[in-house]
């Protein structure tokens, strides 16, 4: 049995006191411990920004990449060694601005891995700039007269791209978040978890208190069926995306079919001289 602390490297996070990201880091560590993932088999891949620091606080394998590209790196890792548990994370900028196309294509590929979006609707590490997930009217240093463009709706976008797993969590609801991450990791295929993670320094609108008033908890609705895609769309539209819990899971998802049962990194790579000659003869 592994303990939560086994997944922590005891480095003190650079996040502001009260930042929602602390809870996500801890939820991931608790989920890993409950799932008893050997820490040598866990790879945390992160993007750039406050969220990107997460991989540097895990005691596991960690890859802190470049802005918006955690998903291509993570998919490469999983395709290379499918025995690994791969959890990518990033901010709303990583997932829905600079890296948006990777998000959609990762959804299409349905590779067996998890993506946690640490969504605070603002660019914190650049010291307060608007995000594609910021609400209209949101004032930042780059939108001094208020954001004009309408925000991307992560849930609708994800589901309409063919996602086989989509859930939402809230940093203040840690136990629910842990359960969601566990389900996401267990899901066969690509699982996307959008976590409302308040930025206490640069987002004075979408605060903990604001979310507590707005969020609908789907787990409290006995009639909610997370395997019904139409229902999931309706719920996202009706709540304006402000709901938590497992929103949708396709039950028959198998993940991307791999060409071989052996992880690529463990294949027998020998090619005999006879085989080589056969390949060469095709050029004659």
DSSP bridge pairs for 129: 123
Instruction: Compute the least distance from the CB of residue 97 to another protein, in Å.
Output: 14
77 — phi, psi (to 5°)? Answer: -65, -45
Q: How far apart are CA 94 and CA 264, in angstroms?
A: 28
Nearer to another protein, 21 or 78 (CB): 78
Among 25, 32, 49, 65, binds another protein (CB under 8 A): 65
The verdict on 54 binding another protein (CB under 8 A) reads: no
Among 79, 184, 192, 232, binds another protein (CB under 8 A): 79
Name residues contacting another protein, limited to 256-275 (CB under 8 A). Answer: 258-260, 262, 264-265, 267, 269, 271, 273
The encoded tokens of residue 114 equal: 């998890």
What distance in Å separates the CA atoms of residue 6 and residue 32, rounded to the nearest whole number?
10
- Per CB under 8 A, the list member of 13, 16, 35, 64 interacting with another protein is 64
Binding mask 96-125 for another protein (x = CB under 8 A): -----xx-xx--------------------
Q: How far is CA 148 from the centre of its chain?
A: 27
CA angle 98, 55, 88 (to 5 degrees): 50
Among 19, 24, 31, 73, binds another protein (CB under 8 A): 73
Which residue in the set 23, 33, 75, 130 belongs to the binding site for another protein (CB under 8 A)?
Answer: 75
Q: Which is nearer to another protein, 66 or 229 (CB)?
A: 66
User: Residues binding another protein: what is the number (CB under 8 A)?
Assistant: 55
CB 113 within 8 A of CB 78: yes
Q: Which stretch binds another protein (CB under 8 A): 32-40, 154-162, 200-208, 229-237?
A: 32-40
Q: Which residues bind another protein (CB under 8 A)?
A: 9, 11, 38-41, 43, 45, 48, 53, 55-56, 58-66, 69, 72-81, 83-84, 101-102, 104-105, 258-260, 262, 264-265, 267, 269, 271, 273, 276-277, 279-281, 283-284
């Amino acid at each position: 049995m592994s303990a939560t602390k086994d997944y922590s490297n005891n480095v003190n996070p650079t996040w502001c006191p009260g930042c929602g990201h602390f809870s996500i880091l801890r939820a991931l560590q608790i989920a890993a411990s409950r799932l008893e993932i050997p820490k040598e088999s866990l790879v945390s891949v992160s993007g750039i920004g406050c969220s990107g620091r997460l991989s540097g606080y895990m005691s596991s394998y960690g890859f802190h990449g470049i802005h918006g590209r955690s998903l291509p790196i993570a998919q490469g890792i999983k395709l290379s060694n499918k025995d690994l548990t791969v959890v990518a994370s990033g901010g709303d900028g990583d997932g829905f601005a600079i890296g948006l196309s990777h998000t959609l294509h990762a959804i299409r590929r349905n590779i067996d891995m998890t993506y946690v979006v640490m969504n605070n609707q603002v660019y914190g590490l650049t010291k307060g700039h608007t995000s594609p997930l910021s609400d209209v009217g949101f004032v930042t240093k780059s939108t001094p007269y208020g954001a004009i463009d309408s925000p991307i709706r992560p849930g609708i976008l994800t589901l309409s791209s063919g996602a086989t797993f989509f859930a939402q969590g809230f940093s203040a609801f840690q136990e629910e978040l842990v359960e969601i991450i566990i389900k996401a990791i267990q899901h066969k295929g690509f699982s996307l978890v959008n976590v409302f993670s308040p930025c206490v320094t640069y987002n004075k609108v979408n605060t903990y208190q604001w979310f507590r008033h707005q969020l609908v908890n789907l787990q409290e609705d006995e009639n909610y069926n997370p395997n019904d895609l139409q229902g999931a769309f309706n719920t996202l539209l009706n709540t304006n995306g402000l709901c938590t819990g497992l929103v949708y899971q396709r039950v028959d998802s198998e993940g991307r079919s791999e060409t071989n049962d052996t992880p690529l990194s463990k294949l027998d790579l020998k090619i005999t001289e006879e085989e080589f000659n056969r390949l060469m003869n095709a050029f004659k």
